C-alpha cells in the first residue's frame, strides 16, 4: 500500500499551465520495477511536463485558441490511464479542487497481472484517501497559487511526516501538523507512545465532546396490504482533549426506559473493550433502568467516529403521512396529511416536504392551500416544496396541504435525466420529508455522563450534542401501483 508519485498541478485555464509540485519516491519506484519485471509492464515515471500534457489529454481538455473544452472521452474518475512516451501510466488517481488538480500513482504489487481489478489494488483506496487529505490541507483558494506558495511548503512538511518513504504512516492532517509543531516535546517522553497517537496535548483544559448523529429512513404506503418499512441508525463522534500519553475513557451508551436497545454496534479501532453482545428482542419490561452498552476506549487526538449503531423498529414513526395524487400528464391534484407523534420533540431546525414530478414537463403554475407553512416551486421547476416550518400546530400536531399543479408540454429530450425515471410513471409518485431535530434521538440513545470513567482520573467538562435527521423519508402515493425497494444502511 505505497505511492509511487504525487503531483499537484493547475487547471489549464488558471493562467499557469504547469505542475506546481511533484514528489517521487525512489524506494517505491524500485519495488514497482521489481514487481513489473515478470510481466514486462513497467512504465517509467515521466517528466513533469510530459505528465501534465498526458493528464490534460486524459481529462478531455483541449487547447483551442487559449480556450479549453471537454472532448468526447469516456471518463472513469477518479482512476485514469495516461499515455506517455514511456507507455501507459496506470492507475493514476485524479481529483479536482479548483484551481488545482491533485494526482497520485499507487503501487501495483500484483506484477503477474498487467491490469488487476481495481478492487484488488489496496493502493487505490490509500491513494484516494491521501488526495482527500491533501485537498483538506491546501483548502479552497481564490488566489493564484505558485511554486513559492506557503501552502505548498505545508504540503512538503505534511508528506515528509505522513509518508516519508511512500508508505503512509498517518494521513490525518490535524494529527500530522500537530505532531510537527510539537516535535520538541517528544524528547521528554518517559512512557512509550502509541503510533496512532503521535501528539501529546499539554496545558489544555480537559474537555470531552460527544456528538450523536441519528438518521431515520422510512417508506410509507398507507395500505393495509403493504406494511410500512423503516429503520433508525446513527453514529457517535468523539473528540477528547486530555493530557497524557494514553488516557482511556469508559462510557455507557444508553437508551431511555421502555425503548428498544441499540444493536449492530460497530466500534472504532481505538476501542479496547465494548459490550457488543446482541440484545435484540430484549426490552426494559417496564423497568426504570435503561439498557446500556459499555465502551472503553483510548481516544486519538482528532475527532473520530467512536461507533455506529442501529435501533430496533419502534411502533410509531416520528411523522406519519398520507399522500394522494390524481391526474394526468398535464395536471394533478395532490393531498398531503402529516401527523407528528405526540412523544416526538415539536421543535425542528427545518421541516419541509418535497414533491418531485417525474416524466412530466416543468411546472407552469400551481394553486395551493396549507394549514401551516409556505409553498414554493423549486428552482429546477420540477419540484413543489412545502416548508412546514419549525413547529407543528400544538392543538393537534397535524398539518395538511391541498394543491393543483399544472405542467408544461412533456418532452423527454428536454427533460433533465434526473427527472426521467421509468419507475415513477403515471400515478407512481412520492413525497419526501426532510427534517432535522436538535437535542433529540428517536431511539432514545444518550451518553450517560454520570457513569463515565476517565483514567488517569481528571475532572473534565463533558459536552453531548444530539440530533435526528431524515435520511430517506418517503410517502408513496396511495393510488400508485408499485413499491419502492428499501435498501439497508450504507454502513452495514
Q: How does DSSP assign 182-231, residue by residue? A: TGGGGGG--SPPPTT------SPPPEEEEEEEEEEEEEE---SSS--EEE
Q: Are 403 and 366 in contact (CB under 8 A)?
A: yes
Q: What distance lies between CA 178 and its chain's CA centroid?
A: 25
Top-confidence residue, 284 or 82? 82
Q: Which of 115-129, 160-174, 191-205 has the lowest mean pLDDT?
A: 191-205
Domains and CATH numbers, the chain: 3-178 (3.30.450.60), 207-314+442-475 (2.60.40.1170), 319-439 (2.60.40.1170)
Could you read off the pLDDT of 443-492 as tens digits, one per residue?
889 998 988 999 988 899 999 999 999 999 999 988 776 555 445 444 43
Q: Which of 138-147, 242-251, 291-300 has the lowest mean pLDDT?
A: 138-147
- Here the cell at position 272 is 479496547
Q: Considering the entire predicted model, what is its pTM?
A: 0.70
- Here the cell at position 189 is 517522553
Which of the four pLDDT bands, split at 50, 70 and 90, describes residue 276?
A: low
> Residue 350: is its pLDDT beyond 90?
yes
Top-confidence residue, 354 or 425? 354
Q: What distance lies between CA 298 and its chain's CA centroid?
A: 25
Mean pLDDT score of the chain: 83
Q: How confident is the model over 345-354, as a mean pLDDT?
A: 96
Q: How confident is the model over 58-70, as a mean pLDDT?
A: 55
- Here the cell at position 29 is 519506484
Using DSSP's 3-state secondary structure scheme, residue 320 falls into strand
Which of the four pLDDT bands, split at 50, 70 and 90, describes residue 15?
A: low
DSSP annotation of 411 reads -
Task: Give the model's pLDDT for residue 385.
Answer: 96
Q: Are 441 and 212 in contact (CB under 8 A)?
A: yes
Residue 33 CB coordination number (10 Å)? 13
Could you read off the pLDDT of 400-448 as tens digits, one per residue?
999 999 999 887 766 556 788 888 888 899 999 999 999 999 988 999 8
Top-confidence residue, 110 or 379? 379
- Here the cell at position 270 is 481505538
Q: How confident is the model over 164-186, as a mean pLDDT?
A: 76
**Please, which residues bridge with residue 204 across strands?**
none
Task: Give the model's pLDDT for residue 441.
Answer: 92
Task: Give the model's pLDDT for residue 281.
Answer: 43
With residue 122 as reference, give the H or E element that holds it: helix 122-138
Round to whole Å and give the CA distance between 469 and 234: 10
Q: How confident is the model over 217-230, as a mean pLDDT?
A: 87
Q: How confident is the model over 367-396, as a mean pLDDT?
A: 94
Q: Which of 229-238, 270-279, 287-296 has the highest mean pLDDT?
A: 229-238
Q: How confident is the model over 290-314, as a mean pLDDT?
A: 85
Task: Give the model's pLDDT for residue 150.
Answer: 86
Alpha-carbon Rg of the chain, whole angstroms? Answer: 28
Q: Which of 268-282, 310-324, 424-438 has the highest mean pLDDT?
A: 424-438
Task: Give the model's pLDDT for residue 38.
Answer: 58
User: Smallest Cα–Cα separation from 134: which of 96, 108, 90, 107?
Assistant: 96
Top-confidence residue, 355 or 419? 355
Which of the four pLDDT bands, split at 50, 70 and 90, describes residue 66?
A: very low
Q: Which of 124-128, 146-150, 411-415 has the highest mean pLDDT?
A: 124-128
Residues contacting 143, CB < 8 A, separation 6+ = none
Which of the four pLDDT bands, split at 50, 70 and 90, describes residue 69?
A: very low
User: Smallest Cα–Cα separation from 239: which of 214, 213, 210, 268?
Assistant: 210
Round to whole Å and give the CA distance between 261 and 290: 9
User: Smallest Cα–Cα separation from 104: which of 123, 120, 87?
Assistant: 123
Q: Which of 78-82, 85-89, 186-190, 234-238 has the lowest mean pLDDT?
A: 186-190
> Residue 315: is its pLDDT beyond 60?
yes
Q: How confident is the model over 342-364, as a mean pLDDT?
A: 93
Could you read off the pLDDT of 279-296 as tens digits, one per residue?
444 454 455 566 788 999
Task: Give the model's pLDDT for residue 71.
Answer: 42
**Please, which residues bridge with residue 240 across strands?**
208
Amino acid at each position: 500500500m505505497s505511492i509511487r508519485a504525487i503531483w499537484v498541478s493547475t487547471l489549464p485555464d488558471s493562467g499557469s499551465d504547469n505542475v506546481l509540485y511533484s514528489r517521487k519516491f525512489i524506494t517505491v519506484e524500485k519495488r514497482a520495477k521489481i514487481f513489473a519485471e515478470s510481466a514486462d509492464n513497467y512504465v517509467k515515471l515521466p517528466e513533469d511536463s510530459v505528465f501534465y500534457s498526458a493528464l490534460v489529454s486524459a481529462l478531455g481538455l483541449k487547447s483551442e485558441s487559449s480556450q479549453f473544452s471537454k472532448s468526447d472521452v469516456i471518463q472513469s474518475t477518479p482512476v485514469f490511464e495516461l499515455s506517455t512516451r514511456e507507455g501507459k501510466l496506470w492507475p493514476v488517481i485524479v481529483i479536482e479542487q479548483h484551481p488545482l488538480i491533485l494526482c497520485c500513482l499507487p503501487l501495483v504489487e500484483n506484477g503477474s497481472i498487467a491490469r488487476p481489478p481495481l478492487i484488488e489494488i489496496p493502493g487505490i483506496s490509500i491513494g484516494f484517501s491521501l488526495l482527500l487529505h491533501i485537498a483538506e490541507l491546501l483548502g479552497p483558494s481564490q488566489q493564484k497559487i505558485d511554486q513559492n506558495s506557503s501552502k505548498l511548503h505545508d504540503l512538503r512538511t505534511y508528506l515528509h511526516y505522513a509518508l516519508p518513504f511512500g508508505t503512509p504512516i498517518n494521513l490525518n492532517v490535524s494529527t500530522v501538523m500537530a505532531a510537527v509543531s510539537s516535535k520538541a516535546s517528544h524528547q521528554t517522553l518517559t512512557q512509550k507512545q502509541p503510533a496512532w497517537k503521535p501528539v501529546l496535548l499539554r496545558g489544555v483544559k480537559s474537555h470531552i465532546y460527544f456528538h450523536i448523529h441519528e438518521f431515520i429512513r422510512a417508506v410509507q404506503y398507507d395500505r393495509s396490504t403493504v406494511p410500512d418499512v423503516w429503520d433508525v441508525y446513527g453514529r457517535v463522534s468523539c473528540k477528547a482533549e486530555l493530557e497524557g500519553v494514553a488516557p482511556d475513557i469508559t462510557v455507557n451508551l444508553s437508551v431511555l426506559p421502555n425503548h428498544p436497545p441499540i444493536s449492530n454496534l460497530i466500534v472504532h479501532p481505538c476501542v479496547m473493550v465494548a459490550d457488543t453482545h446482541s440484545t435484540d428482542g430484549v426490552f426494559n419490561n417496564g423497568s426504570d433502568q435503561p439498557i446500556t452498552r459499555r465502551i472503553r476506549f483510548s481516544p486519538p487526538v482528532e475527532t473520530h467516529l467512536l461507533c455506529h449503531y442501529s435501533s430496533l423498529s419502534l411502533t410509531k414513526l416520528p411523522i406519519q403521512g398520507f399522500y394522494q395524487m390524481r391526474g394526468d400528464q398535464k395536471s394533478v391534484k395532490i393531498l398531503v396529511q402529516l401527523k407528528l407523534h405526540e412523544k416526538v420533540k415539536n421543535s425542528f431546525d427545518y421541516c419541509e416536504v418535497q414533491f418531485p414530478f417525474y416524466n412530466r414537463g416543468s411546472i407552469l403554475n400551481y394553486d395551493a392551500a396549507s394549514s401551516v407553512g409556505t409553498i414554493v416551486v423549486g428552482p429546477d421547476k420540477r419540484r413543489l416544496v412545502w416548508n412546514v416550518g419549525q413547529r407543528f400546530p400544538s392543538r393537534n400536531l397535524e398539518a395538511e396541504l391541498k394543491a393543483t399543479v399544472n405542467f408544461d408540454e412533456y418532452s423527454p429530450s428536454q427533460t433533465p435525466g434526473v427527472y426521467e425515471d421509468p419507475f415513477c410513471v403515471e400515478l407512481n409518485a412520492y413525497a419526501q420529508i426532510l427534517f432535522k431535530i436538535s437535542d433529540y434521538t428517536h431511539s432514545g440513545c444518550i451518553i450517560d455522563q454520570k457513569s463515565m470513567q476517565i483514567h488517569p482520573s481528571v475532572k473534565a467538562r463533558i459536552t453531548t450534542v444530539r440530533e435526528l435527521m431524515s435520511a430517506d423519508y418517503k410517502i408513496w402515493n396511495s393510488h400508485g401501483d408499485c413499491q419502492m425497494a428499501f435498501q439497508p444502511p450504507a454502513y452495514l
